[in-house]
Amino acid sequence: MLESTLMTHVQNLCVHPHRAVGSAGHAAAQDHLENQLAALGLAPLENSFRLPYAFDGIQFCNLVGTVEGTDPRRQAAPLVLGAHYDTVPTTPGADDNAASVAVALEVARRVVERPLTRPLWLALFDAEEPPYFHSSAMGSKVFVDEQAPDVPFHTAVIFDLIGHDLPVPGLGQAIGLMGAESHIDWLEVVEAARDAAGPLKPLSIPNRIMPDMSDHHAFRLAETPFLFMTCGAHPATYHQPADTPDRLNPARLVNTVNLAERLVRQADTRPFGPLEEHDTTEFDGRNALRAAGPARVLLGGSPAVAAKAVYGLASQLY
């Protein structure tokens, strides 16, 4: 049932050839996502789910829905779930990034049913793709710098490229968790969420290995602790017409929802604070050895050696 729901979200975003800024698909995606935020029971951040902005005469739009927290003492610092909904002109963007939007919508739906202690903000960002990537028009950067400039975000969980199995023998079900080095509280969160991963194999990887490859860029610059969930870029579909819904693994999306929800609920209860980087090599290596299973012998059995091997692999996936 959940597989069907998630894939329906993906298909509804992929009915147009692409969702590049200014296209018919881009406008249709905004309408569809606005309706979905309302249908799931989220509240608009302001008077509308839409947060429009303009840059160089071009119109853009972030969409943000909120869920109120249960603890009055924790209302000032929301936890952000984020994913971009635009594409490059060459692709319907099932993996990049409709699958991530679908996962974020489902996690938010579960939080509506059972709220966190603090507010949850679901942010669907515009203009992540080139030519706006890392520019002043990038939706997540506008959101952090201009649309919510004085908000002390608790932390951010960002999704991008999460719908495909990795084309790596023995690690097809791996999923990258980047940014645990942004705050030491993430180590406890990842450990506490591990049992919700099902067949997924969480690999913690420092952001420097694939630096700021998505919307967590804006939160890192704002010194907000972040976790970025990704499988990297699949060489057969990334920014290609072949990035279609039938190329996704629906079961992976279900498992990603379960893992992401647990991560969010664990992060809700941790103190966090401003971004404070620390060395995660030992932690990353232990995660790599767990993910490798019987093949761990190929990693030498040492966390340091295993971490180096995984870092090398990850650097080739984007």
pLDDT digits (tens, 9 = 90+) for 79-109: 999 999 999 999 999 999 999 999 999 999 9
Check if the beta carbon of residue 160 is closer than 8 Å to that of residue 252.
Answer: no
CA–CA distance, 89 with 129 (Å, rounded to integer): 10
Closest CA to 308 of 289, 290, 281: 281
The domain of 215 spans 2-279
Phi/psi region, residue 216 (left: phi>0; alpha: psi -120 to 50; beta: rest), is alpha
Quick check: is 299 in a domain? no
Residue 295 in any domain: the answer is no
Q: Distance (Å, rounded) from C-alpha 242 to C-alpha 93?
A: 9
pTM for the structure as a whole: 0.97
What local confidence, expressed as pLDDT, does residue 100 receive? 98
Residue 315 lies inside a defined structural domain of this protein: no
Angstrom distance (rounded) from CA 177 to CA 132: 24
Residue 302 belongs to some domain of the structure: no
Please report whether residue 285 resides in a domain. Answer: no
Taking the C-alpha atoms of residue 275 and residue 221, their distance in angstroms, rounded to an integer, is 9
Q: What is the pLDDT of residue 317?
A: 75
In total, how many domains does the chain have? Answer: 1
For residue 111, tell me if it sits in a domain: yes
pLDDT tens digits, 242-289: 999 999 999 999 999 999 999 999 999 999 999 999 999 999 999 998
CB 275 within 8 A of CB 225: yes
Does a structural domain hold residue 52? yes
Query: In CATH, what number is assigned to the domain containing residue 36?
Result: 3.40.630.10
Q: Is residue 157, in this structure, part of any structural domain at all?
A: yes
Q: How far apart are CA 154 and CA 225, in angstroms?
A: 8
CA dist 250 and 203 (Å) reads 20
Structure tokens at 174: 């791996």
Residue segments in the chain with a per-residue pLDDT below the cut of 70: 294-301
Query: For residue 157, how far is the Cα from the chain centroid?
Result: 6
No. of H helices and E strands in the chain?
A: 9, 9
What CA–CA distance (Å, rounded) separates 268 from 80? 10
CA 216 to CA 229: how far, in whole Å? 10
